[in-house]
Amino acid sequence: MEHHRWRREVRQAAYSALITEAVAAEEGLRSAWTVLSEAGPGHLDEAMERMRAAENLVSAARRAASTVAVEGSTAVVEAAEALMTALGVALADLFSWHADSARGAGTEAWRDRHAAHVLEARARLKDFTGSARAALDDEPYRSAR
């Protein structure tokens, strides 16, 4: 029983760490989106700084997801992978949008596309949180059998 309690604590810490890092990454992506969407040619450097900060936050979430990959149940690991894919897509879009903006080709389509991808990341974060909660709620019942 003590081993099950320890495993649950390890999983809970891993899940919580990913949630914390993913929330920070999503906020960083939104911050970069705001600057880039309002950036004229003179503000692209500031947008790049925000994008690099968002990239670091997504990297921190990836590191947290690697712990979940080892410690989590299959359903939680799959939800974490979907979350990381969504964050990665949103980040890649920012860099593509920035490159187009630097060439003078920034469009409203990028703004809408990136906003949709950030919303997708938020939905995947909600899914991950639900999967993590369900897995942790289930554990005492499985370990008591």
What was the pLDDT predicted at 141? Answer: 45
Q: Where are the alpha helices (H) located in the chain, listed in sequence order? A: 2-38, 44-71, 74-102, 108-144
pTM assigned to the model: 0.88
What is the mean pLDDT, run by run of 10 residues, along the chain of 145 residues?
88 97 96 82 82 97 97 96 97 90 75 89 96 85 43
What was the pLDDT predicted at 106? Answer: 64
Distance CA 10, CA 33 (A): 34
What was the pLDDT predicted at 139? Answer: 63
